[in-house]
Amino acid sequence: MDNSLLVIAVIGILIIIFGLYGLYVNVVKAKNAVYEALSSIDIQLKKRYDLIPNILTIAKKFMEHERGVFEKITELRALAMKAKSGSQEKFKTEAMLDTELRALMVNVENYPTLKSDASMMQAMQTYNEVEEHIAASRRFYNSALTQLRNLIQIFPGSLFAGCAGNAADLSYFETDAASRQPVNASNFL
């Protein structure tokens, strides 16, 4: 009788150990998914950063008097590239860059020759594709961060919250109030 209780106790302890190890593995996987999502955002933003000078160069030929827009976009691009990935500063700068780029696209609409220029059309199409990829990457990031936070905030996962490291302290990507509003073309004319 004593041996059977000992066997049951050992099996129970092994089940608990393997269960806790499985939970630890899930926390580590969730943390890594958050960093993978951040990396995906950075890759898409790099594509945008590389595309911005091309768009500005093409548009500049036609829109010499819009110099302030070009300078603002260039400045925001530099700030965004320097900001720490996953930080509120990065997200805020990206939101301002989004707003300025949308304003540029509205201005492009006022130049039929520019709008019909093949290189500008290609650049705008590429820009729209990159923006869609950035949005998808941001959704994936927010989802991965939610999964990690859920995992480490609910017992027994909270026992392994330390394994998540700084990933649990990262911010969600949220658009600012200006980005939620439709673009009013008359503001840029």
68-83, pLDDT tens digit by residue? Answer: 777 888 888 899 889 8
Residue at 125: amino acid letter: Q
pLDDT score at 144? 92
Buried b (16+ CB within 10 A) or exposed e, 104-132: bbbbbeebeebeebeebeebbebbeebbe
User: Average model confidence (pLDDT) for the chain?
Assistant: 82
What is the rounded radius of gyration, in angstroms, for the C-alpha atoms of the chain?
A: 24
All structural domains of the chain, each given as residue ranges with its CATH number in brackets, are 2-188 (1.20.1440.20)
pLDDT over threshold 60, residue 186: no
How far apart (Å, rounded) are the C-alpha atoms in residues 85 and 154?
A: 27
pTM value is 0.66
pLDDT score at 66? 65
pLDDT score at 169? 79
Question: Among all chains, which residue has been given the structure tokens 């540029």?
Answer: 104
pLDDT score at 16? 93
How far apart (Å, rounded) are the C-alpha atoms in residues 62 and 123?
A: 15
How far apart (Å, rounded) are the C-alpha atoms in residues 127 and 14?
A: 54
Phi-psi group of 23: left, alpha or beta (phi > 0 → left; psi -120 to 50 → alpha; rest → beta): alpha
Residue at 167: amino acid letter: A
Record the tokens describing residue 20, joined without a space: 């806790």
104-138, pLDDT tens digit by residue? Answer: 877 777 777 666 677 777 878 888 888 899 889 98
